[in-house]
Structure 1
Amino acid sequence: MHIGIALPQYGTHARAEAVAPFARDAEAAGFDSLWVGDRSLTPVEPSDLYPGHTPEHPYPAEYKTFLDPLVVLTVAATATTRVRLGTSTLNAPWYPPLLLARSLTSLDQVSGGRLDAGLGIGWLRDEYTAVNADFGKRGARLEEILDILEGIWAQEVFGHKGEHWEIPRSYVGLRPAQPAGPPLYLGGFSPAAMARVGRRAAGWVGVSLPAQAQAGLWGIARRAAEDAGRDPDALRRQIRHNPRPGATAEDIAAVLREVRDTGAESCFVDLQQCVREPEEALELGGAVLERVRRG
């Protein structure tokens, strides 16, 4: 199983000067991938609670400071040569798909073809309000975004007319480094989201769950792939684990071993809610990596 780590991006870790050295050191330590997330807003009176949170603490306090995910990945791309670079997840319906395609294609070029684009639809209605996007149609918007990204990466002349966007037929001279474009992974936990993974994606950007729960969700994706005439064995899982403060290296390694036992191809740890400093995250992450690789 490939093992990754989240880049310093939010909370006390959101320090621009830390990104490049962290990325270099993580690659040197043997991590296989580096990851970012996507938050745009932390409302004073939020419309929705973050899963597992309460009205008194509606979302992780660390989310109040958040560096732009694609800027952070670009810095990491220029500081490394080997590791894959992933988004888990980029909230695609916030972005005009033509500009999203340009950004992802440019980042794939800058990284030499190392980008894995994990896309999601988010959970907070306020973030959609702030960018003038329809929260109620976020699934349909994502489907159309996938059509546009796939079309732009496959065609040198591309046009589109759909429910949400219209793009005049145009020349597409900017090509990704990966011939078919960056692999597109999708997040989500609902049956509809997992079916979309099977129908449309390279795989799932999920989170660590009990084995039985993960098997149930993954089974939906595999069946949807079969129904769509796709090879379910070609789907891959990129699993995120968010340890809480106080978790030890052995605690975290035990979770990653459980993820590995499910057959997932990749798991990464986000330690930004577990320790306060990027240096601590790298030290703890290195200890986790050693334990998992040791068995």
Structure 2
Amino acid sequence: MSQSLSTLVAEELALPADPRAVTMAAALAARYPGAARAVLFYGSCLREANLDGLMLDFYLIVSDYRAAYGKSWLARANALIPPNVFPFEHDGLISKYAVLSEADFHRLCGMEADNVSVWARFAQPSRLLWSADEAAREKAVAAVSRAIPALFQLTLPILPPDTDFTSADIWKTGFARTYNAELRAEKAGRSVSIVDSDPYRYDRFGEAALMRIAQDMGVGPNGGVPNALSPAAAEQRWRRLQRRGKWLSVARLAKASFTFAGGIDYLAWKINRHAGTQIVIKPWQRRWPLLGAITLLPALFRSGAVR
């Protein structure tokens, strides 16, 4: 018998991770006493055996932004353009972490989100490395369990009608759309390689997501999973997500120039690593990181390094 999506998500989030990443997550939570609720580890570093020299990716989930920052402008910035992103070093490892409230994390993992940033990432494997208590763990599982149905409900209507398609086809089409809905420094074909790296995982989670959608919406007229949107409405929604995602990426980049020391160097490192470019940051761009980052964008679009 197939497992439910929530069960699969809970089991995957509980899988072991590198002990150094676990220690780092606990140290990160300790920086926000009274506010930290959960720390999730995601991204390409999950698949790496040696974390030295890599930039780890975390999401820090907090009870609310005022509890995390007090009356600082950071609380307003996090609420206005979530998430805030900061660098963090611990025990020889480096990372960046994004801060979201429990409420925003739940919303941004669902289909109602106005951008793909969170649910596109948490439709992929992640680990829950730290939680404040059982209630925090359950909320994290519930939020992450919304990510794949969001991806599938937006992708199913845009697949060619009257054709047989597999779960992998849904995943690859959906991921390709999410990569076009952000400024992403990734090589062509990345959306395909993600699925091909672990087809068994994506088949199981895809089947469970389809079951969840059918349970929530009812079975379609032909006994299949019904579409949440018409093809035209889904295409319109993807266009809105793409437009908003590009602007949000720029806005977050601008915000990070105030919250992320050395942010422009990280941006160059990330693009070079994923797109195979050789960007070198000039001294003036480090002095004026916001202006420097913006001046990179036209060349990156022309080269295809950022799509």
TM-score by structure 1 length?
A: 0.32
In our comparison, the structure showing a higher alpha carbon Rg is 2
Question: If the length of structure 2 is used for normalisation, what is the TM-score?
Answer: 0.31
More strand by share: 1
